[in-house]
Amino acid sequence: MAKSGDPGMPANPVNLADDRQAADRRMGWMFAGLFLLYMFDYIDREIVSSLIPFLKADLGITDTQAGSLASAVYWAIIVLAFPASILVDRWSRKRSVGIMVMLWSLFTGAAAFVKTFPQLFTVRLGVGVGESGYSPGGTAMISAMYPVQKRSRMMGLWNVSIPLGSAIGVGLGGVIAKAWSWKHAFGLVAIPGFIIGLLFFFMGRDYRTVKLEKSATATQAARKMKVGDLVGEFGRKPSLILTYIGFAGNTFLTSAFLTWLPSYFNRIRGVAADKAGLLASVVMISSAVGVFVTGYLVDAWRKRLDIARPLYAGLTSLLSAAIWFVALAWLTGTAQLVAMFVAAISTLLYLPAAAAVTQDVVHPGLWAVSYSICVVVQNLLGSSTGPLVVGAISDKWGLNTAMMSVPAASVFAGVLFLLATVFYRRDLAKVDKVAVEMEE
């Protein structure tokens, strides 16, 4: 049984009957499956961005309506992420994940058959229903599969799928729509995700459901957690609350840019609609470079400074905001594109560190619930509002002005992450040390 061996953190052993090489291979396949599913999550979520010019021409929708098609996914996630995470934590990770993937794939494919804006809006809500519990479930599984001192780097590697899937969705949608139609774009991307979700349901590996118990102390035996204990896991940990809200600031920025960059290149820079989607996808995929490397940096820094995770998230959020504002407000042409590439690399630097915090300071039996609260907050205040707010500002003052206002959200996020460093050590000390075991 391999233990985390990290003082002050919950033990995170993985009980494997296989030899080490076979166990590592199985973990590798599990990680690959989770990675691919997260990638298709974002392909199906973001494909609508590059289809906006085609949807406006075919359905006659406004920018506000176009933004709502992106926001609809997040509104459904807001409503269902918490109950879905309870299912994940208390029932089965792999079965919950498999069902959700197949569901969101079916709704993505259903968009190929709609004829009106209300119908399209409805199926986009359905995509959000399926995606509501995937990131909490996947985050919990990553937390169980690897020791805590590797948590940031594995979160970083897993979250590379976000910019990769987003870029594929944004880039591929415009190309398919140009060659055939926007309906074909929705239909074609739905198929691979459904197949992988079906395989994961039957072949994925899970960890044993963790009992919700308070650990024994010198004066008290182990006991079942009460309602007050459960509420305290989240409500009495300021670093956790600040991290949740900080996420919202950064997801406001990412969802706004993912949705509107193709239209920005098309309208403001005069790039053809199909090429605008490709250009936006190339810019956004560069963020994978940052999220790939940053987890290793955070874990290395954490060996010398225990508050490295929230501190790193705060500093990189401020850096991202500054570079995006310079690119949009002061630069044009090639210089702007170069700055956008650098800005995109910095955009997700915060993510592995901040995601690890949501797991670090809570009971292991509540990992999925913790991240689901994060998902609800970030989608309610950030992801769902970003595309809509930019669309509304664009309708009134123009898309250029709307885009320049977006980086302020990451300034807000950076300040909150820095405040979280003040409380992180104290919240860490409250966490029960509970063993987590993989199923045979």
- The half-sphere exposure of 46 on its side-chain side, counting CA atoms within 13 A, is 34
Q: Which helix (H) or strand (E) holds 223?
A: strand 223-224
**Separation between Cα atoms, residue 161 and residue 284, nearest integer Å:** 12
- The Cβ of residue 228 has, within 10 Å, a number of other Cβ atoms equal to 10
Q: If we measure between CA atoms, which residue out of 43, 49, 19, 30 comes closest to residue 263?
A: 49
244: pLDDT strictly greater than 60 = yes
On the question of pLDDT at 360 being above 80, the answer is yes
Q: What is the pLDDT of residue 157?
A: 86
pLDDT band of residue 222 (cuts 50, 70, 90) is: low
Q: What is the pLDDT of residues 260-305, one digit of tens each?
A: 898 999 999 988 877 887 788 788 778 888 887 888 899 999 999 9
Find residue 207's DSSP bridge partners: 438
Joined together, the tokens standing for residue 241 give 């609350």
> Region 343-348: what's the mean pLDDT?
93
What's the confidence (pLDDT) of residue 305?
95
pLDDT (tens digit per residue) in 107-149: 998 988 888 899 999 999 999 888 887 888 888 888 888 887 8
Measured CA angle at 400 (ends 398, 404), to 5 deg = 120
pLDDT of residue 83: 85
| CA 255 from centre of chain | 10
Whether the Cβ atoms of residue 428 and residue 361 lie closer than 8 Å to each other: yes
Nearest to 123 by CA among 63, 47, 175, 237: 47
More confident residue, 160 or 336: 336
CA–CA separation, 433 vs 431, rounded Å? 6
CA 342, CA 355: separation in Å to the nearest integer?
Answer: 22
Eight-state DSSP code of residue 381:
I
Collapse the DSSP code of 205 into the 3-class scheme (helix H, G, I; strand E, B; otherwise coil) and give the result: coil
What is the spatial distance between Cα 417 and Cα 354, in angstroms, rounded to a whole number?
Answer: 8
pLDDT tens, 16-70? 444 566 666 777 788 888 999 889 888 888 888 778 888 888 888 888 888 788 8
Give me the chain's average pLDDT, please. Answer: 84
Q: Closest by alpha carbon to 56, among 66, 43, 68?
A: 66
Torsion-angle region of residue 384: left (phi > 0), alpha (psi -120 to 50) or beta?
Answer: alpha
φ/ψ (deg, to 5) at 348: -105, 15
Q: Of 360, 371, 372, 374, give the one whose Cα is nearest residue 431.
A: 360
pLDDT of the residue at 402: 95
Which is more confidently placed, 238 or 225?
238
Question: pLDDT digit string (tens) for 328-337?
Answer: 999 999 999 9
Q: Cα 63 to chain center, whole Å?
A: 25
Give mean pLDDT, residues 69-97. 81
Which CATH entry fits the domain spanning 20-209+230-429: 3.20.20.140, 2.60.120.10, 3.90.930.12, 1.20.1250.20? 1.20.1250.20
